[in-house]
């Protein structure tokens, strides 16, 4: 029997995830608040009123900035309250509500990552519908508005092959599921799944990149996940993407039906 083990959203791309007990999903939308914000590189031209999808290398992310993993962050998208901890020391505790506070955070990341003086990143936000919490643009790795799903048993199978423990947070998924067979989620492509009273359609395998090499606990590039998957299973995929096709609420421990 499959069930939801964790629900996680990442309010700011590249920073810490937030564990949720339940969340309301809306048709054709991402997980509400997921990757709603990002730190764009200094030379990215981004129009918040007419957003388009950009590849991950246009933003601060673990694929290039592994030091981000050492920061433990919390962010409330409603109040825009950001707290940043490093080794149990609070470095930032501020509300990103005006240009002064936003620039302070941008300079913090520029200095923390040792970026050149003329390469200050810019905080950007996805577009929301007026009078609605639906996020019409998020800084996801793919242009489609999707929910990312990881099967814990697929991770366990990879762990057995390489004889190392793998933190599921390496894959930055929205849903982590328990139960079933390793890799069976690939058989769900083109099929519908039900979680709680929500229906989703699985449409794509998740190809893994260099970001998964970074250990989310210490920021070290210690396991070449794409290489190990390829070596042991003949592909570089782990997890799937699904589109929401019927609104509803998903909660931890909900059963998943194919």
- Distance, CA of 221 to CA of 210 (rounded, Å): 9
Asked if residue 56 is part of any domain, the answer here is: yes
Tell me the two tokens of residue 14: 């590249």
Return the percentage of the chain with pLDDT > 90, whole number.
Answer: 88
In terms of domains, do 25 and 48 share one?
no
- Distance, CA of 233 to CA of 109 (rounded, Å): 37
Q: What is the DSSP string of 225-250?
A: HHHHHHHHHSS-EEEEEEEEEE-EEE
> Would you call 100 helix, strand, or coil by DSSP?
helix
**Does residue 212 contact residue 229 with C-beta atoms inside 8 Å?**
no
Tell me the two tokens of residue 73: 């962050």
Given a cut of 60, is residue 46 above it in pLDDT? yes
- Strand partners of residue 151: 177
Q: What pLDDT score does 6 carry?
A: 98
- Cα dist from 194 to 9, 160, 199, whole Å: 20, 30, 5
In terms of domains, do 153 and 45 share one?
no
In terms of domains, do 17 and 43 share one?
no
- Distance, CA of 34 to CA of 11 (rounded, Å): 5
- Cα dist from 243 to 17, 82, 84, whole Å: 21, 29, 32
In terms of domains, do 102 and 64 share one?
yes
**Domain limit, last residue, from 66, 90, 125:** 125
Asked if residue 193 is part of any domain, the answer here is: yes
Mean pLDDT of 202-221: 94
**Domain limit, last residue, from 101, 125, 149:** 125
- Strand partners of residue 128: 135
In terms of domains, do 157 and 187 share one?
yes
Q: What pLDDT score does 52 carry?
A: 87
Given a cut of 90, is residue 51 above it in pLDDT? no
> Would you call 252 helix, strand, or coil by DSSP?
coil
Asked if residue 136 is part of any domain, the answer here is: no
- Distance, CA of 179 to CA of 177 (rounded, Å): 7
Q: What pLDDT score does 252 carry?
A: 97
Q: In whole angstroms, what separates CA 144 from the centre of its chain?
A: 14
Domain count, the chain: 2
Given a cut of 70, is residue 234 above it in pLDDT? yes
In terms of domains, do 194 and 253 share one?
yes
pLDDT category, 84, cuts 50, 70, 90?
A: very high
pLDDT category, 37, cuts 50, 70, 90?
A: very high
In terms of domains, do 83 and 152 share one?
no
Q: What pLDDT score does 174 carry?
A: 98
In terms of domains, do 51 and 23 share one?
no
What residue numbers bound the domain in which 241 lies?
Answer: 2-29+141-257
Return the percentage of the chain with pLDDT > 70, whole number.
Answer: 96
> Would you call 185 helix, strand, or coil by DSSP?
helix
Asked if residue 156 is part of any domain, the answer here is: yes
In terms of domains, do 110 and 93 share one?
yes
Asked if residue 57 is part of any domain, the answer here is: yes
- Which of 237, 225, 241 shows the shortest CA–CA distance to 159? 225
The burial of 204, by beta-carbon neighbours within 10 Å (0-12 exposed, 13-18 middle, 19 or more buried), is given as middle
C-alpha atoms less than 13 angstroms from C-alpha of 148 in its C-beta half-sphere:
23
In terms of domains, do 108 and 194 share one?
no
Q: What pLDDT score does 48 carry?
A: 82
In terms of domains, do 58 and 92 share one?
yes
Q: What pLDDT score does 230 carry?
A: 97
**pLDDT for 87-111, tens place per residue?**
989 999 999 999 999 999 999 999 9
Q: What pLDDT score does 154 carry?
A: 97
- Distance, CA of 180 to CA of 177 (rounded, Å): 9
Q: What pLDDT score does 128 carry?
A: 62
Asked if residue 131 is part of any domain, the answer here is: no
Task: Indicate if the alpha-carbon torsion angle 128, 130, 132, 136 is positive or negative.
Answer: negative
Q: What pLDDT score does 131 carry?
A: 52
**CATH code of the domain covering residue 251:** 2.40.33.20
- Distance, CA of 26 to CA of 135 (rounded, Å): 10
**Domain limit, last residue, from 99, 125, 151:** 125
**pLDDT for 133-181, tens place per residue?**
556 678 999 999 999 999 999 999 999 999 999 999 999 999 999 998 9
Given a cut of 90, is residue 243 above it in pLDDT? yes
Mean pLDDT of 19-40: 94
pLDDT category, 77, cuts 50, 70, 90?
A: confident
pTM score: 0.93
In terms of domains, do 59 and 15 share one?
no
Q: What pLDDT score does 49 carry?
A: 81
Asked if residue 180 is part of any domain, the answer here is: yes
Asked if residue 130 is part of any domain, the answer here is: no
Q: What pLDDT score does 62 carry?
A: 94
Q: What is the mean pLDDT of the chain?
A: 93
């Amino acid at each position: 029997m499959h069930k939801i083990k964790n629900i996680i959203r990442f309010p700011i791309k590249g920073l810490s995830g937030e564990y949720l007990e339940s969340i309301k999903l809306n048709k054709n939308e991402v997980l509400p608040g997921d990757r709603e914000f990002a730190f764009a590189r200094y030379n990215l031209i981004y129009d918040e009123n007419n957003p388009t999808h950009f590849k991950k290398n246009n933003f601060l992310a673990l694929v290039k900035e592994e030091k981000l993993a050492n920061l433990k962050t919390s962010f409330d998208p409603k109040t825009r309250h950001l707290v940043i901890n490093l080794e149990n020391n609070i470095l930032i505790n501020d509300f990103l509500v005006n240009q002064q506070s936003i620039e302070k955070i941008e300079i913090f990341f520029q200095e923390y990552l040792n970026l050149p003086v003329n390469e200050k990143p810019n905080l950007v936000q996805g577009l929301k519908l007026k009078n609605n919490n639906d996020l019409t643009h998020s800084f996801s790795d793919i242009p489609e508005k999707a929910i990312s799903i990881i099967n814990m048993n697929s991770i366990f199978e990879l762990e057995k092959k390489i004889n190392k423990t793998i933190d599921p947070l390496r894959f930055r998924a929205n849903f982590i599921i328990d139960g079933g067979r390793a890799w069976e989620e690939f058989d769900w492509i083109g099929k519908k799944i039900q979680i709680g009273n929500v229906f989703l359609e699985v449409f794509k395998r998740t190809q893994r990149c260099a970001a998964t090499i970074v250990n989310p606990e210490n920021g070290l590039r210690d396991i070449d996940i794409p290489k190990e998957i390829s070596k042991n299973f003949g592909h570089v995929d782990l997890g799937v993407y699904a589109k929401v096709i019927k609104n509803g609420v998903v909660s931890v421990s909900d059963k998943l039906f194919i």
